[in-house]
Amino acid sequence: MPHDGASREAGEEVTMSTVSPEELNDRAQTILADIDAKGGVLKASERLSIPAQEMPNQDPGERRHNTDEVALGYSVAQARVEASRCLQCKNQPCVAGCPVSLPIRDFVSAIAANDFGKAIALIKEKSLLPAVCGRVCPQESQCQASCTVGKSLKDVDKAVAIGRLERFVADWEREQSQAPVPEVKPASGKKVAVVGSGPASLVVAADVRREGHDVTVFEAFHKFGGVMLYGIPEFRLPKAIVSAEVETLRAMGVKLIPNFLVGRTRTLQDLMDKDGFDAVFVGTGAGLPHFMNIEGENLVGVFSANEYLTRANLMRAYEKGRAATPIVDAHRVAVLGGGNVAMDAARTALRLGADEVYLIYRRTAKEMPARVEEVEHAKEEGVQFHMLRNAKRILGDDQGRVTGIECLCYELGEPDASGRRAPVAIAGSEFVLPVDTVIVAIGNGSNPLIRQTTPGLEFNKRGNIVCDENGRTSLAKVFAGGDIVLGAATVILAMGQGRRAAAAINDMLSKA
């Protein structure tokens, strides 16, 4: 029997609040007055009874027509109330859940005590990109997953909102316009090349520069920030935040060279042999989109999420009339995949004027790798979720343009190697969704360029650079980190790797 597949989940289960920012702030003010009246001294049971502070968001109906940031950020009162929910556990399970071991308990305590300067200083001892991580980290599966408050209330969504607090103090500092430029030690006479300018690379550049080494960042694009610029959309991570971080590096004396593709403009070996770099960090990311390998995938109107998002974000195609880079006029869009990138692509398509956006995922919502918050936001904005469906082939007209996508229905079978229940196709369940655009967001392989042009550098079967826990590769003086090592992962994991590689580089140079 044919399935029509029109399981419209959008609009049916809106769980996020649409309470106005003003109202949320008023409620927080009242609670804060109580807390302050007690001099901030509360019993654990009192802390657990403080309501979790909701993030004020732009109205879904409005925001699907603009590219402004969706989450508006806590007010001062909300931040202090949320921070007051923290039980200040002695064993700090949250810190163990953080890939870069932020002193979470202590910075949260500083926020509750109204000392935002101290809070941000504590964070910056461990993390260089708090405004970014506060926005895009999957806190619900890291620090907040092990939060005692969430466990006591038997709901991970009720954990202390560590990410939102991190974002709050990072934004607070940026708005003070007095963010101090990190101190740089006297010149060491050593030169370090950083390849790529995503999160891992920016962290390496900062940490190595602080030790007084001469640092040059090489970026293939004309702007710096890597996936934070071309991939993550403005409505989730404003570009101004990324460029502020880049400007801090510039102020520290890091040299930034755009339009330079290591492997082509210069080989990695030549950077060391001819240009005299004493160490090289490779942070080139996961830059080769996977396709489904199904019929019709090269039709006009089929894009990788990378292409679609790069046109929209980095090339600013969303500013129609100003940007020279064209983007498809999509009306009915199918997005294939269930990760954060799929959500970004679907929500970008809505903002660029699509009437209908379908998200096609072959498992169920439970198995989706995307963050819960992103899924909820996508639903609120009107993305239609087709779960347990998968693309079989893409249909086109005689001009080679997409006219529809044929999908197959699935059911969940036994758990597979990943521990998730494997989707099994239901024979004869094909149905066609009429669409004019298909965006493939099923992940990235690793870019082959460095591999092809760097003899002696060891890669694994998946094309990722092989290195030890400190980022040391098979080549002397060459280090690596981020998605080129991890496969497609997260900003915070990339940053953590950058930190360890930078420490290893600094250690090596201090002994040289």
Partner 1 sequence: MNPTDYAILYKRQLSENVYMMRIHAPYIAAERKPGQFILLSVDESYGERIPLTIADADAAAGSITIIFQKVGLTTTLLADLEVGDHLAAVLGPLGQPTHVSKVGTVVCVGGGIGVAPMHPIAKAFKSAGNRLICILGARNKDLVILEDEIRAFADEVIVCTDDGSAGRKALVTAPLKELCEQMPRPDLSIAIGPPIMMKFCAETVRPYGVPLIVSLNTIMVDGTGMCGGCRVTVGGETKFVCVDGPEFDGLKVDFDGMMKRLQAYRPQEQRMAAEGQEHQCRMMAQAEKLEKK
DSSP of 290-302, one letter per residue?
-----BTTTSBTE
The minimum distance between CB 243 and partner 1, in angstroms, equals: 12
Burial 166-179 (b: 16+ CB within 10 A, else e): bbbbbbbbbeeeeb
Regarding 328 and contact with partner 1 (CB under 8 A), the answer is yes
Through-space distance between the first and last CA atoms of the chain, rounded to whole angstroms: 71
Question: Among residues 449, 489, 503, 508, which is the contact residue for partner 1, using CB under 8 A?
Answer: 449
Question: Among residues 307, 356, 406, 430, which is the contact residue for partner 1, using CB under 8 A?
Answer: 307
The DSSP bridge partners found for residue 218 are: 195, 257
Regarding 2 and contact with partner 1 (CB under 8 A), the answer is no
Regarding 293 and contact with partner 1 (CB under 8 A), the answer is yes
| Per-residue contact string for residues 60-99; x = within reach of partner 1 by CB under 8 A | ----------------------------------------
Of 296 and 496, which has the nearer Cβ to partner 1? 296
Contact 231, 306 (CB under 8 A): yes
Residue 22 to residues 42, 160, 377, 474: CA-CA distances in angstroms? Answer: 26, 21, 20, 56
Of the candidate spans 56-64, 309-317, 378-386, 422-430, the one that interacts with partner 1 by CB under 8 A turns out to be: 309-317
Of the candidate spans 72-80, 115-123, 306-314, 485-493, the one that interacts with partner 1 by CB under 8 A turns out to be: 306-314
The minimum distance between CB 63 and partner 1, in angstroms, equals: 24
The minimum distance between CB 423 and partner 1, in angstroms, equals: 24
Of the candidate spans 4-12, 69-77, 260-268, 404-412, the one that interacts with partner 1 by CB under 8 A turns out to be: 260-268
Beta strand segments in 135-213, E: 191-195
- Tell me how many residues contact partner 1 (CB under 8 A): 46
If you ran DSSP here, which 8-state letter would residue 464 be given?
P
The minimum distance between CB 493 and partner 1, in angstroms, equals: 20
Regarding 304 and contact with partner 1 (CB under 8 A), the answer is yes
The minimum distance between CB 400 and partner 1, in angstroms, equals: 3
Question: Among residues 2, 44, 155, 291, which is the contact residue for partner 1, using CB under 8 A?
Answer: 291
Beta strands 402-415 and 389-396 are antiparallel
Regarding 462 and contact with partner 1 (CB under 8 A), the answer is no
Contact 85, 50 (CB under 8 A): yes
Question: Among residues 329, 416, 458, 507, which is the contact residue for partner 1, using CB under 8 A?
Answer: 329
Name the 3-class secondary structure at 372: helix
Regarding 310 and contact with partner 1 (CB under 8 A), the answer is yes
If you ran DSSP here, which 8-state letter would residue 183 be given?
P
Of the candidate spans 132-140, 383-391, 393-401, 478-486, the one that interacts with partner 1 by CB under 8 A turns out to be: 393-401
Of 122 and 315, which has the nearer Cβ to partner 1? 315
Of the candidate spans 70-78, 137-145, 413-421, 445-453, the one that interacts with partner 1 by CB under 8 A turns out to be: 445-453
Q: Which of residues 195-234 bind partner 1 (CB under 8 A)?
A: 220-222, 230
Name the 3-class secondary structure at 60: helix
If you ran DSSP here, which 8-state letter would residue 157 be given?
G
Beta strand segments in 249-355, E: 255-257, 279-282, 288-289, 302-304, 332-336
Beta strand segments in 197-342, E: 214-218, 255-257, 279-282, 288-289, 302-304, 332-336
Regarding 47 and contact with partner 1 (CB under 8 A), the answer is no
Nearest in space to 127 (alpha carbons), one of 100, 146, 87, 154: 100
- Say how far apart CA 443 and CA 79 lie, in whole Å: 35
Regarding 400 and contact with partner 1 (CB under 8 A), the answer is yes
Question: Among residues 2, 264, 468, 474, which is the contact residue for partner 1, using CB under 8 A?
Answer: 264
Nearest in space to 9 (alpha carbons), one of 307, 263, 347, 383: 383
The minimum distance between CB 246 and partner 1, in angstroms, equals: 14
The minimum distance between CB 373 and partner 1, in angstroms, equals: 26
- Say how far apart CA 144 and CA 45 lie, in whole Å: 19
The minimum distance between CB 314 and partner 1, in angstroms, equals: 8
Beta strands 431-434 and 255-257 are unpaired
Regarding 177 and contact with partner 1 (CB under 8 A), the answer is no
Number of CB atoms found within 10 A of residue 315's CB: 18
- Give me the residues that bind partner 1 (CB under 8 A), please: 220-222, 230, 257-261, 264-266, 287-289, 291, 293, 297-301, 303-304, 306-307, 310-311, 315-316, 319, 321-329, 399-401, 447-449
